[in-house]
């Protein structure tokens, strides 16, 4: 009986593994060049960590279990709680700002669908200890820096930026009761997925006052935070939130990515722990889920028993990203093919033992080298070298037995040269 993979998971055969490595290597290189340091944590944590961050309902969205000691644990569905726990453990010794990144393997007990699987990889970057719009802008910039590096332009993706703080100020200014804020956040988070008339009907349910509902709709239609006064009179609280948003956009312009960015007041992010600037990056066509999202979460470390420290960050999953890159023809065209430096071939059965020693010495010198387990004819071995994309083929024949010389064939040009073994290889244990 053949056992299939678990639904919502993936097998990574070598071609898929090459794509995965290319994506992850890109995430890591962009993180490092933007000044972030890598961290990681355990693949399972105490269940209460996720309940603290997301509430009891999170239990149905993750894989939880009890260990032999009866402790309630969960396979990590995200890494931000781990980050909060780790930072709190060494909060007094960590230099600030804390700029960390991670590429964890995560699991969520969700219904698999396009762009969403039960197991996936996610790029996380976070800046902790800085309460400034420039830190929010740097998180957005770093996200766009990667997308730009892999060939996605402002005609392909758009960073939609808003502020949970600004939204709360506007709702208060319009007269919406604070007890309705959470319901409003949940509704706005669904806006892009709902037909306009359905959204208007649901908004009317949440806000029966027609004048308030109209002003909320007017706010959602704004193209700039500077236009807020058209919807609600400015007070000190609203003015401060507007200035923060304008600082984010000004910094993004200075960093050269303004053409990717728009103000979208409907972006609120579904998680309750966001406290300030929030953003999502979407494909322009809008066919896919958000490529990534994040924002400011100034209360999370305090919720995990630490001090109140400002923080901002984002997460980008590999599933939607891979779909978009494939659609744009930017995936397989950039993933480097398998490349072998040397293939060692044996032209004479009498040289078989030398084939293994030459291959081993090439490997010891830091070169990738392979050979055929079946000593067929030279033509078959050369064909195998070609199938493995070898740059050069080392041919061992009678010349090696007579004079310790090897034939080196360039697999691209077909040119052959004859060299003494000491010219190609160091002595065992030596250097080239």
* Residue 195 falls inside a structural domain: yes
Residue that is last in its domain, among 270, 304, 327: 327
Strand partners, 406: 419
Cα separation, 193 vs 226, whole angstroms? 26
Is the domain of 262 the same as that of 386?
Answer: no
Domain span including residue 351: 340-424
113 secondary structure, DSSP code: B
Q: How many residues does the chain have?
A: 432
Contacts of 367 (CB under 8 A, 6+ apart): 341, 342
Instruction: Tell me, yes or no, whether 352 lies in a domain.
Output: yes
* Domain match, 384 and 262 both: no
Whether 76 is in a domain gets the answer yes
Q: Are 261 and 251 in contact (CB under 8 A)?
A: no
Let me know if residue 333 belongs to a domain: no
Spatial CA neighbour of 256 closest among 97, 137, 100, 162: 137
47/51 Cα distance (integer angstroms)? 7
CATH number at residue 345: 3.40.50.800
Residue 55's CB: how many other CB atoms inside 10 A?
A: 11
List, in order, residues 6 or more apart from 150 with CB less than 8 Å away: 26, 325, 330, 334
Ramachandran quadrant class, 64 (left: phi over 0; alpha: psi -120 to 50; beta: rest)? beta
Distance CA 34, CA 28 (A): 10
Question: 179 and 211 in one domain?
Answer: yes
Q: Is residue 204 part of a domain?
A: yes
Based on the domain organization, do 45 and 106 belong to the same domain? yes
Query: Has residue 37 been placed in a domain?
Result: yes
Tell me if 151 sits within 8 A of 334, measured CB to CB. yes
The tens-digit pLDDT sequence of the chain (432 residues) is: 899 999 999 999 999 999 999 999 999 999 999 999 999 999 999 999 988 877 777 778 899 999 999 999 999 999 999 999 999 999 999 999 999 999 999 999 989 998 899 999 999 999 999 999 999 999 999 999 999 999 999 999 999 999 999 999 999 989 888 888 888 888 888 888 888 889 899 988 888 988 988 999 999 989 998 899 888 988 999 999 999 999 999 999 999 999 999 999 989 886 667 899 999 999 999 889 999 999 999 998 898 888 999 999 999 999 999 999 999 999 999 999 999 999 999 988 888 889 999 999 999 999 999 999 988 889 999 999 999 999 999 999 988 888 888 999 999 999 999 999 888 876 555 444
Residue 432 makes CB contacts below 8 A (sequence gap 6+) with 365, 366, 425, 426
Out of 260, 293, 327, a domain closes at: 327
pLDDT at 184: 85
Q: Would residue 6 count as lying in a domain? A: no
Q: Are residues 168 and 236 in the same domain?
A: yes
CATH code of the domain in which 113 resides: 3.30.930.10
Q: Say if residue 123 is in the same domain as residue 223.
A: yes
Query: Which token pair is 25?
Result: 């290597």
Residue with tokens 């058209």: 230
361 and 397 co-located in one domain: yes
Q: What is the DSSP letter of 336?
A: P
Shared domain check, 351 and 317: no
Does 361 lie in the same domain as 223?
A: no
Cis, peptide link before residue 97, omega less than 30° from 0 = yes
Count of domains for the chain: 2
Q: 151: phi > 0 → left, psi -120 to 50 → alpha, else beta; which?
A: left
- In a domain, residue 59? The reply is yes
- Residues 408 and 358: their CA atoms lie apart, in Å, by 12
Distance of CA 221 to CAs 7, 186, 314, 358, Å? 40, 18, 25, 70
57 and 199 share one domain? yes
**CA atoms of 423 and 305, how far apart (whole Å):** 64
CA distances from 393 to 109, 201, 366, 377, 403 (A): 49, 71, 16, 14, 19
352 CB-near residues (< 8 Å, 6+ apart): 346, 375
| Domain closes at, from 327, 348, 383 | 327
Residues 352 and 260 in one domain: no
Contact 97, 141 (CB under 8 A): no
| Phi/psi of residue 122, nearest 5 degrees | -140, 130
Q: At what angle do helices 196-206 and 210-220 cross, to 10 degrees?
A: 130
Q: What is the pLDDT of residue 432?
A: 44
Determine the pLDDT at residue 428: 54
Same domain for 367 and 293:
no
Please tell me the distance from the alpha carbon of residue 148 to that of residue 143, in angstroms, as a whole number. Answer: 9
Whole-angstrom distance, CA of residue 279 vs CA of residue 283: 13
């Amino acid at each position: 009986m053949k056992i299939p993979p678990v639904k919502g998971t993936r097998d990574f055969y070598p071609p898929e593994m090459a794509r995965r490595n290319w994506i992850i290597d890109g995430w890591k290189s962009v993180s490092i060049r933007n000044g972030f340091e890598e961290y990681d944590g355990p693949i399972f944590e105490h269940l209460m960590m996720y309940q603290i961050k997301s509430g009891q309902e999170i239990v149905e969205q993750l894989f939880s279990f009890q260990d032999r000691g009866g402790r309630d644990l969960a396979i990590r569905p995200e890494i931000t709680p781990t980050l909060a726990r780790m930072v709190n453990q060494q909060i007094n010794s960590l230099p600030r700002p804390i700029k960390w990144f991670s590429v964890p393997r995560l699991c969520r007990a969700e219904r698999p669908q396009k762009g969403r699987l039960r197991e996936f990889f996610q790029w996380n970057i976070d800046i902790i200890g800085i309460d400034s719009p420039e830190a929010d802008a740097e998180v957005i910039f770093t996200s766009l820096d990667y997308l730009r590096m892999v060939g996605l332009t402002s005609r392909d993706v758009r960073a939609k930026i808003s502020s949970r703080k600004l939204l709360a100020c506007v709702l208060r200014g319009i007269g919406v009761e604070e007890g309705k804020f959470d319901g409003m956040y949940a509704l706005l988070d669904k806006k892009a997925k709902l037909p306009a008339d359905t959204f208007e009907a649901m908004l009317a349910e949440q806000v029966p006052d027609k004048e308030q509902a109209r002003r909320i709709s007017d706010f959602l239609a704004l193209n700039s935070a500077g236009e807020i006064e058209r919807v609600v009179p400015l007070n000190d609280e609203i003015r401060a939130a507007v200035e923060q948003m304008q600082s984010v956009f000004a910094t993004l312009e200075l960093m050269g990515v303004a053409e990717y960015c728009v103000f979208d007041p409907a972006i609120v992010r579904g998680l309750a722990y966001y406290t300030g600037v929030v953003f999502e990056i979407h494909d322009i066509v809008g066919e896919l889920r958000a490529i990534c999202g994040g924002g400011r979460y100034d209360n999370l470390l305090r919720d995990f028993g630490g001090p109140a420290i400002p923080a901002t960050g984002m997460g980008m999953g590999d599933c939607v990203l891979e779909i978009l890159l494939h659609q744009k023809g930017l995936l397989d065209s950039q993933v480097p093919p398998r490349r072998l430096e040397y293939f060692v071939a044996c032209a004479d059965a009498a040289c078989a033992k030398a084939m293994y020693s030459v291959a081993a010495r090439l490997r010891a010198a830091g070169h990738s080298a392979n050979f055929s387990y079946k000593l067929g004819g030279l033509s078959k071995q050369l064909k195998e070298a070609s199938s493995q994309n070898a740059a050069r083929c080392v041919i061992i024949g009678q010349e090696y037995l007579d004079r310790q010389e090897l034939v080196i064939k360039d697999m691209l040009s077909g040119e052959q040269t004859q060299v003494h073994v000491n010219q190609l290889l160091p002595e065992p244990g030596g250097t080239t």
